[in-house]
Structure 1
């Protein structure tokens, strides 16, 4: 069995060999070389900074959008409140107008009944006046006819 020191030494040697092969070994055209990878690692903080800036900008836009949405929601709430107030006001006006309409219809009905009663009374009065005039004229005519008949009968009686 190998000791722990030998195993550690063997692991270190394998890592060193892998690093040397990675540094100086031929790079395939499809893969980046070791130096490009190191360069990318050093450029990573600037990429992280750019990503952080983009994140902050996106976060700020999100906050602005959230503020706009909150503002629009407040406006909508205010509009809904005003709409309810207007609806209640219109409903109360509608009720008042209904009551006024009912009162006006009752007045109109009473006036129509009054006009009909007045018309009936006027017809009765006219009928009574015409009847009285007819009776008076009839009385005079009948009186004249009776006088004429009596006069004629007397005249015939005198001639005989």
Structure 2
């Protein structure tokens, strides 16, 4: 009998605690047990939304990765094209340098030829002038000798 009494007292205490719990208003700031249960049942929806967001982010990342790979490919193509252009310009520059050297050599040869011609003309003119002067001096000498011989 003692055990039954204790069981009844325990049951009565539980009922009393339950009634107090139901009658006692929970503070507004705390979620009730019902809200927690609702949240637990809504978790699959939240998980699905998180999974959708994850998939969308994953897709955006893949798109960005593809765009980046395309940008890298384009920049590599541009770099290759610019390197080829640089090599072509180096070859053109070398050819132009050779042409410039050849033209400078032609100009030096022309100047040297013109100097030789000028020296030849000056020498010829000096020879002609010298011939006339020498002829005059020779005539003067001959004329003086003849004048002395006549005296």
TM-score band w.r.t. shorter chain: 0.7 to 0.9
Distance across 1 between alignment mates of 2:118 and 2:6: 140
- 2:65 maps to 73
After superposition, the Cα gap between the structure-2 partners of 1:99 and 1:141, relative to the gap in structure 1 and judged at 3 Å, is same
How much does 1:21 deviate? 4.3
Give, in angstroms, the shift of residue 136 of structure 1.
Answer: 1.7
Normalised to the residue count of structure 1, the TM-score between the two structures is: 0.74
Give the alignment's TM-score, normalised by structure 2: 0.78
Cα distance, 1:25 vs structure 2 = 5.4
- Shift in alpha-carbon separation, 1:12–1:124, aligned structure 2, 3 A: farther
Gaps of 5+ in 1: 1-6
Summarize the Cα distance change of 1:96–1:13 in structure 2 as closer, same or farther, 3 Å threshold: farther
The reply on whether 1:131 has 2:123 as its aligned counterpart is yes
Q: Which residue of 2 aligns with 1:47?
A: 39
CA RMSD in angstroms comes to 3.0
**Cα-to-partner distance string for 1:36-72 (whole Å, 9 max, x where unaligned):** x9x725x544322433333322322222122112111
Q: 1:11 to 1:47 in 2, by over 3 A?
A: farther
Question: What residue ranges of structure 2 are gaps of 5+ in the alignment?
Answer: none
Closer, same or farther: CA 132–12 of 1 in aligned 2, 3 Å = farther
Q: With CA pairs under 8 Å and 6+ residues apart, which has the higher RCO, 1 or 2?
A: 1
Equivalent residue for 2:15?
Answer: 20
- 1:60 equivalenced with 2:55 (yes/no): no
- Structure 2 matches for 1:90-129, cutoff 5 A? 90-129=82-121
